Amino acid sequence: MNVLPGLAVATLLLALAPLGLPPYAMTLLTEALILGLFAMSLDLMVGYTRLLSFGHAAAYGLSAYTCGNLLLHTSIPLVFAVPIAAAFSGIAAIGVAWVCTLASGVSFSMLTLAFAQSEIGARYDLARVAVRALRQADGGFVLDGEKRMVVHGEGADLVVVSARTAGEVADAKGISVFVVDPKAHGVSLRGYRTIDGLRAADIAFDGARVGADALIGNEGDGLSLIEAVVDFATALICAEALGVIGYANDATLEYLKTRRQFGAPIGTFQALQHRVVDLFIEHEQVRSMASLACGAVDTEVDARARKRVVSAAKVRIADACRKVSQECVQLHGAMGMSDEMKVSHAFRRLTVIAQQFGDADYHLERFASPGEKGSA
């Protein structure tokens, strides 16, 4: 079942809602309809991709790449970009049938999930979970603690939360995964905008009660599930980076062809041509590594081997995100950082992608010792 188009449109509409109606509202809404129609074509594209024997990650990676490129070609800034990786990979891991049952009476295409994993001091360590879930006599659980930087947490219908049911804060064992209603008693959210224009929230749990059916998988064995999901998500943001880098390169090349100095387009200057060639090479290398990562999370059954491939891809793509985003802004000049220039939104998104789910330093260390570190 393809859930990405529904999530894309639903998240887009959720993002529009709190903004009111600015002067360009009709333009935004018109382009939202265009995105809705495009989402239908994505559905067909993913279907055909699967028929060609590509895996789920390859198919949705192609969709992530296309969305990353499309959202930057419209006048809609990246505030409306969908959390493709986290949303779909979370659903894939939980099980589509289970989510459909839980969301009985709600259109599945409009169901939005957020993944609450990050905590203070955890950095990229997925095993560092301080939020506690205490089992009750009736079989349910009571959650206490706080999660930070939950992407699209304030607009989610359900929040997937990691919590510790046993062990100490950094133990690999004793982590469980729950589905929590963000509107439930004992759950409070503080929303804010991220540097790339997305929305995120800090979520606090103060005696929040969930039923026994909110537990995903086996109690205390959630870390392996979380690692697999985050590796899947990492592969997809690598594919998104490919789309954003492609747009940034195209926009920069067009600018060099039209911007004139000393009586000629600056694109005719050999020194700038060399820099554009370097950007093209970066794009092609990102394409290869994103494909490699998608293939690994789809087909690799050995967790250590999967982590190694995903980390290799993220190291290369994080470096490319930094190089391409900064080069494109420099080639645009100071105006490249202004909100009016779409390349500035590409710069911000690529900056976040380079850090999301583990930066280059973290993944380089994990690549060197895959048996000792968890997924980022």
- Average pLDDT value for the chain: 75
Amino acid type, 367: F
Q: In terms of domains, do 54 and 123 share one?
A: no
Across 300-327, average pLDDT: 93
Same domain, 234 and 263: yes
Instruction: List CB contacts of 177: < 8 A, sequence separation 6 or more.
Output: 160, 161, 162, 163, 215, 216, 217, 222, 225, 226
Residue at 282 is within a domain:
yes
Give a yes or no: residue 311 inside a domain.
Answer: yes
Q: Which of 77, 102, 127 is the last residue of a domain?
A: 102
Question: With the C-alpha atoms ordered 32, 38, 44, 50, is the resulting torsion angle positive or negative?
Answer: negative
Distance CA 185, CA 163 (A): 17
Work out the average pLDDT over 306-329. Answer: 94
Whether 103 has a pLDDT exceeding 60, the answer reads no
pTM: 0.74
pLDDT at 2 (0 to 100): 37
Q: Give residue-wise pLDDT tens across range 8-35.
A: 443 444 444 444 434 444 344 444 444 4
For residue 174, the 8-state DSSP code is S
| 268 and 325 fall within a common domain | yes
Asked if residue 375 is part of any domain, the answer here is: no
> CATH number, domain at 170?
2.40.110.10
Contacts of 36 (CB under 8 A, 6+ apart): 9
Q: Let me know whether 69 and 189 are in one domain.
A: no
**Among 85-94, 117-126, 192-201, 293-302, which is the least confidently predicted range?**
85-94
Q: Is 376 domain-assigned?
A: no
Contact 141, 210 (CB under 8 A): yes
Domain containing residue 354: CATH number: 1.20.140.10
Q: Answer yes or no: is pLDDT of 240 > 50.
A: yes
Q: Are 81 and 71 in contact (CB under 8 A)?
A: yes
Classify residue 335: in a domain, yes or no.
yes
User: Count of H helices and E strands in the chain?
Assistant: 10, 10
Q: Per residue in 43-56, pLDDT tens?
A: 344 433 333 434 44
Last residue of a domain, one of 170, 197, 221: 221
Domain count, the chain: 3
Residues 228, 359: one domain? yes
**Checking DSSP bridges between strand 113-116 and strand 158-164, what pairing results, if any?**
parallel
Q: 113-172 pLDDT, tens per residue? A: 889 999 998 989 999 999 999 999 999 999 999 999 998 888 888 899 999 999 999 899
pLDDT confidence of residue 64: 52
For residue 339, name the pLDDT band (cuts at 50, 70, 90): confident
Please give the pLDDT value at position 369.
81
Residue 202 inside a domain? The answer is: yes
Report the SS3 class of residue 181: coil
Judged against a pLDDT cut of 80, whether residue 83 lies above it is answered with no
Q: How far apart are CA 306 and CA 55, in angstroms?
A: 15
288, two tokens: 């290869």
- Do 133 and 212 lie in a common domain? yes
198 and 291 in a common domain = no
What is the rounded CA–CA span in Å between residue 96 and residue 99? 5
How high is the pLDDT of residue 128?
94
For residues 205 and 256, state if they share a domain: no
Given 102, 129, 151, which residue is the final one in a domain? 102
Residues 238 and 322 in one domain: yes
pLDDT score, position 297: 87
Residue among 234, 346, 244, 349 nearest 296 (CA): 234
Same domain, 198 and 134: yes
Between 159-168, 332-341, 360-369, the lowest mean confidence (pLDDT) is in: 332-341
Residues 53 and 19 grouped into a single domain: yes
Q: Which domain holds residue 248?
A: 224-368
Measured CA to CA in angstroms, residue 76 lies from 80, 195, 198, 208 at distances of 7, 16, 12, 37
Measured between alpha carbons, how far is residue 322 from residues 146, 302, 316, 351 in Å?
31, 31, 10, 6
Could you tell me if residue 374 is inside a domain?
Answer: no
Contact 115, 160 (CB under 8 A): yes
Q: Are residues 335 and 291 in the same domain?
A: yes
Q: Which residue, 158, 22, 38, 154, is CA-closest to 77?
A: 22
Q: Which of 38-42, 146-150, 246-250, 300-304 has the lowest mean pLDDT?
A: 38-42
Do the beta carbons of residue 153 and residue 191 sit within 8 Å? yes
Q: Is residue 373 part of a domain?
A: no
